[in-house]
Amino acid sequence: MTNKAFISVENVSRVFTGENTVTAIQDVSFTMNKGEFLCIVGQSGCGKSTLLRIMAGIDPSHEGVVSINGEVVKKPDKTRGVVFQEARLLDWMNVCSNVGFPLQGMEKDAKKKLVEEYVTLVGLTDFKKSYPRELSGGMAQRVSIARALVNKPEVLFMDEPFGALDYMTKINMQNELLRIREKSRMTVIFVTHDIDEAVYLSDRILVMSKNPGRIKEIIDNPMPRPRDRNSEAFLNVRKQVYDCFFINNVMD
Number of domains in the chain: 2
* 63 and 158 together in one domain: yes
* Residues 123, 115 contacting (CB under 8 angstroms): no
Task: Point out the domain boundary residue: 105, 123, 152.
Answer: 152
* 166 and 224 together in one domain: yes
Whether the predicted model's global pTM rises above the 0.75 cut: yes
Please choose, from the candidates 204, 195, 174, the residue with its C-alpha nearest in 3D space to the C-alpha of residue 239.
195
The DSSP letter of residue 227 is: -
Please choose, from the candidates 142, 156, 245, the residue with its C-alpha nearest in 3D space to the C-alpha of residue 194.
245
* 74 and 98 together in one domain: no
96 belongs to a structural domain:
yes
pLDDT in the model for residue 3? 58
pLDDT in the model for residue 207? 96
* Residues 144, 88 contacting (CB under 8 angstroms): yes
* 209 and 158 together in one domain: yes
Sign of the Cα torsion 129, 77, 46, 196 reads positive
CA dist 142 and 89 (Å) reads 11
* 133 and 194 together in one domain: no
2 belongs to a structural domain:
no
The DSSP letter of residue 46 is: S
Task: Point out the domain boundary residue: 108, 132, 152.
Answer: 152
**3-state secondary structure string, 85-106?**
CCCCCCCCCCHHHHHHCCCCCC
Mean pLDDT by 10 residues, the chain (252 residues): 80 92 95 97 93 96 96 94 94 97 92 95 94 95 95 95 91 92 91 96 96 95 95 96 71 44
Task: Point out the domain boundary residue: 152, 170, 194.
Answer: 152
Range of the domain at 180: 7-79+154-251
* 114 and 164 together in one domain: no
* 48 and 97 together in one domain: no
pLDDT in the model for residue 170? 92
**pLDDT tens per residue across span 28-75:** 999 999 999 999 999 888 999 999 999 999 999 999 999 999 999 999
231 to 21, 96, 226, 237: CA distances (angstroms): 45, 40, 11, 10
* 136 and 246 together in one domain: no
130 belongs to a structural domain:
yes
* 159 and 195 together in one domain: yes
* 95 and 139 together in one domain: yes
* 60 and 74 together in one domain: yes
CA dist 75 and 5 (Å) reads 20
pLDDT in the model for residue 105? 86
